[in-house]
Amino acid sequence: MDISKGKIIISGGKPLVGEIPVSGMKNAAVAIVLSTILTEDKCIIENLPDIADINISLQILEEIGVKVKKLSKNTVEIDATYVSPGIAPYELVSKMRASYYLIGAELGRFGRAFVGLPGGCDFGVRPIDQHIKGFEALGCEVKLDGGYIEATAKNGVLQGSSVYMDVVTVGGTINVMLAAVKAEGTTIIENAAHEPHIVDTANFLNACGADISGAGTDVIRIRGVKKLHGVTYTIIPDMIEAGTFMILAAATKGDLKITNVIPKHLDSVTAKLCEMGVEVIEDGDSVTVRRGAAPLNKVNVKTLPYPGFPTDMNPQMCVLLCLANGLSRLTESVWESRFRYVEELKRMGAKININGRCAEVEGIPEFTGASVRAVDLRAGSAMVIAGLAAKGITQIDEIYHIFRGYEDLIGKLQAVGADIKVVYPKNIEFSDFD
């Protein structure tokens, strides 16, 4: 069944209670899956989230000649012995932002790349000038023409170099790392992004024989190697999915034990929840989030690159701020246009005023169910949280955005007591997407 045609229906107002598992991290998985083409070998990737963006990434690989075998729902074998560069179909790459990793990976393997410009969530302008600056520093000529990007290394070989990123960019950092892994000499990326998915991608590449140090800090050093080999690698847990469930527990006055997490990655979310008066208990690879009857305290939040509060938690956090006592401020400092979901929340009774890059959020006693849209992936998960916390029935349209990044969301939520389902035209109902 085509989920782009479905709607989510929620009957809200019930506290969610129980244990909820977190899947592998989308933003690490997309980078790692596409970077397998650097290996000229077989890799087995475990804890791969079963989501649309990964399925698109695997389809892209198949289209360029890579053999992909699903060993189980979350494990895939990727054999990149044979790859034909430059032929990834535009219809696939334009569906997903992270398809830009194909540029770095093709450059790293072949010294040239020809890839359609990427799609993804609409947050206003999403430039890739820093990626291009990095490829040029490594000795490539880069042309943008007719919706495609063509990059070619002089004499077919990339040369290690120093790259200073003018903005902290996750995609730019990873893409330059991919291009540099097999370059001649050493590449140094300065002002690199620190996100856990950068560390995970570097760990994967190092396990394949790359020589990358400093991932997770401002300066990443990549000594070019001649060849990479295949490995079996397990993707880290998704901190944004985990953070979404943490907010969900607090918003529904629930008690959720969120399992398969790395609590350290959640520090910024945990700190804000504690400031709001929510109980957060870390225990090994789980966090339990519990909210009692006391009202939530207002707080101010500013999104920042890691380890700051993640921009990908902006919409979910906004939902919780709506339920706090008094006026909270949520400042977005990563994407210029991340507040498109605010109009949808207002349909549910939210009182939010947008002032430049700051949302001034006035607390309300509760949301009321309404008909809303998932304007992008994280905005969609925020609508789900608001609907589950709301009095009455909420209907969410354009839900395909949500399933780009959350594995089995409906099944996981039903298992902790949510009254949520997907309905399709002609009243055919499905409770999950298997």
CB closest to ligand EPU, residue no = 171
Interface with ligand EPU (CB under 6 A), residue total 25
Nearer to ligand EPU, 330 or 334 (CB): 334
Nearer to ligand EPU, 374 or 390 (CB): 374
Q: Answer whether 246's CB lies under 8 Å from 383's CB.
A: no
Q: Which stretch in 76-84, 120-128, 222-230, 286-294 sits in contact with ligand EPU by CB under 6 A?
A: 120-128
Q: Does 215 bind ligand EPU (CB under 6 A)?
A: no
Cβ-count burial 227-265 (b if 16+ within 10 Å, e if not) = ebebbebbbbbbbbbbbbbbbbbbbbbbbbbbbbbbbeb
Q: For the CB of residue 322, give the shortest distance to ligand EPU in the complex, in Å.
A: 20
CA distances (Å), origin 254, targets 30, 250, 288: 32, 6, 10
Nearer to ligand EPU, 25 or 320 (CB): 25
Q: Which stretch in 24-32, 44-52, 143-151, 283-291 sits in contact with ligand EPU by CB under 6 A?
A: 24-32
Which strand ranges, in their side-by-side order, compose the sheet holding 428-430? Answer: 371-373, 393-397, 7-11, 420-424, 428-430
Q: Does 27 bind ligand EPU (CB under 6 A)?
A: yes
Q: Which residues, listed in sequence order, are joined to residue 287 by a DSSP beta bridge? A: 258, 282
**348 DSSP 8-state letter:** T
Q: Does 190 bind ligand EPU (CB under 6 A)?
A: no
Distance (Å, whole) CA 110 – CA 7: 43
140 carries an active-site annotation: no
Residue (of 92, 101, 99, 180) closest to 136 by Cα position: 180
Which strand ranges, in their side-by-side order, compose the sheet holding 162-164? Answer: 162-164, 186-190, 220-223, 211-213
Choice among 43, 121, 208, 318 that is catalytic: 121
Residue (of 66, 67, 62, 32) closest to 49 by Cα position: 32
Q: Does 126 bind ligand EPU (CB under 6 A)?
A: yes
Among positions 154-173, residues that touch ligand EPU (CB under 6 A) are 167, 169-172
Q: For the CB of residue 30, give the shortest distance to ligand EPU in the complex, in Å.
A: 5
Q: Which stretch in 25-33, 151-159, 274-282, 347-355 sits in contact with ligand EPU by CB under 6 A?
A: 25-33
Among positions 302-321, residues that touch ligand EPU (CB under 6 A) are 311-312
Q: Which stretch in 59-67, 124-132, 211-219, 256-264 sits in contact with ligand EPU by CB under 6 A?
A: 124-132
Angle at alpha carbon of residue 242, lines to 240 and 247, rounded to 5°: 95
Q: Where in the sequence numbering do the catalytic residues fall? A: 121
